[in-house]
């Protein structure tokens, strides 16, 4: 309850700051949404017309892409400080301030700065899914909707866990750029059917950097049923394992932190 209260205070403070510059906030919303629309346009250019993916219709590809935006949007809301963790907190010494507070350090990093405008991507994703669902006769009953809601939160947690582990690399190696950009680019691969990739990429996206569990497998279960039932059932397990690893690695990194001395 204490941390829920703190989260509410962080959110209220963020809202006050952003509403002081409303134009900047709405421009940011428009920019992020426009970037996602361009990404969706790429799907039309690559897979539209007479260039379908074997075994998948174009409408199904749009459903997969629309769903992939949902967990990504939730992750983007809280991921701002992870991207700038090395430079903004460790190199500049701001992490000392975090450690002085009687609040979990990872909680502070994730929620000190929010990017609510990223939720615009979730709205677009829902719109795409609802638009194409009638064309592919997707069974969206109460059970399927409940599963997708749980899967979206699991996917957001998976993204968070993976990038928390990547951020902790900075505790041992001073690197302003970090290892995040190349891994972040892998997210795009999880938005499309894994069938189109070779065995190495399928293993990579499923068991090493499990972006497919965050985006592909939940939507594929709705579209293909029992074929992906096992992977969908493993989603909570994979999420718990990677969240546990992330917390463990973060704790080790905090113990290794020696301050900047400034």
Assign 3-class secondary structure to the chain: CHHHHHHHHHHHHHHHHHHCCHHHHHHHHHHHHHHHHHHHHHHHHHHCCCCCECCECHHHHHHHHHHHHHHHHHHHHHCHHHHCHHHHHHHCCCHHHHHHCCCCHHHHHHHCCCCHHHHHHHHHHHHHHHHHHHHHCCCCCHHHHHHHHHHHHHHHHHHHHHHHHHHHHHHCCCCCCCCHHHHHHHHHHHHCCHHHCCHHHHHHHHHHCCHHHHCHHHHHHHHHHHHHHHHHHHHHHHHHHHHHHHHHHHHHHHHHCCCCCC
Q: Note whether residue 29 is domain-resident.
A: yes
pLDDT higher than threshold 80 for residue 242:
yes
Looking at per-residue pLDDT, the higher value among 139 and 208 belongs to 208
Look at residue 261 and tell me whether its pLDDT is greater than 60: no
For the chain, the average pLDDT equals 87
- Residue 183 inside a domain? The answer is yes
Phi and psi angles of residue 103, each rounded to the nearest 5 degrees, phi first: -135, 145
* pLDDT, position 69: 94
Is 262 a residue whose pLDDT tops 60?
no
Q: Is residue 36 part of a domain?
A: yes
- Residues 106-122: tens digit of each pLDDT: 999 999 888 888 888 89
User: Looking at the 3D structure of the chain, how many domains does it have?
Assistant: 1
| Per-residue model confidence (pLDDT) at position 177 | 56
* Position 262 in a domain: no
Q: Which domain holds residue 110?
A: 2-256
Does residue 150 lie in a domain region?
Answer: yes
pTM, full prediction = 0.90
Quick one: which of 76, 72, 61 has its CA closest to 219? 61
pLDDT digits (tens, 9 = 90+) for 23-60: 776 777 777 778 788 877 877 777 776 666 778 888 89
Residue 207 maps to a domain: yes
Q: Mind listing the pLDDT tens digit for each residue in 180-203?
A: 888 988 898 888 889 889 999 999
Better-scored residue on pLDDT, 11 or 142: 142
| Domain presence at residue 82 | yes
Residue 49 lies in a domain: yes
């Amino acid at each position: 309850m204490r941390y829920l209260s703190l989260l509410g205070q962080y959110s209220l403070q963020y809202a006050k700051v952003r509403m002081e510059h409303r134009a900047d906030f709405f421009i940011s919303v428009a920019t992020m949404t426009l970037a996602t629309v361009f990404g969706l346009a790429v799907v039309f250019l690559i897979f539209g017309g007479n260039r379908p993916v074997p075994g998948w219709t174009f409408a199904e590809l749009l459903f997969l892409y629309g769903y992939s935006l949902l967990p990504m949007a939730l992750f983007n809301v809280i991921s701002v400080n992870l991207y700038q963790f090395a430079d903004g907190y460790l190199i500049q010494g701001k992490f000392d301030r975090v450690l002085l507070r009687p609040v979990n350090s990872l909680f502070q990093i994730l929620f000190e700065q929010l990017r609510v405008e990223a939720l615009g991507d979730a709205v677009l994703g829902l719109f795409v899914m609802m638009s194409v669902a009638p064309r592919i006769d997707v069974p969206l009953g109460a059970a399927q909707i409940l599963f997708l809601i749980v899967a979206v939160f699991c996917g957001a947690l998976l993204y968070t866990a993976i990038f928390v582990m990547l951020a902790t690399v900075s505790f041992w190696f001073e690197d302003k750029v970090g290892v995040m950009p190349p891994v972040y680019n892998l997210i795009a691969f999880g938005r499309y059917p894994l069938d189109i990739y070779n065995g190495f990429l399928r293993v990579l996206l499923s068991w090493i950097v499990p972006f497919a569990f965050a985006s592909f497998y939940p939507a594929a279960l709705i579209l293909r049923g029992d074929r992906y039932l096992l992977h969908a059932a493993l989603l909570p397990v994979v999420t718990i394992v990677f969240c546990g690893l992330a917390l463990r690695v973060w704790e080790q990194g905090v113990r290794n932190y020696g301050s900047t001395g400034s």
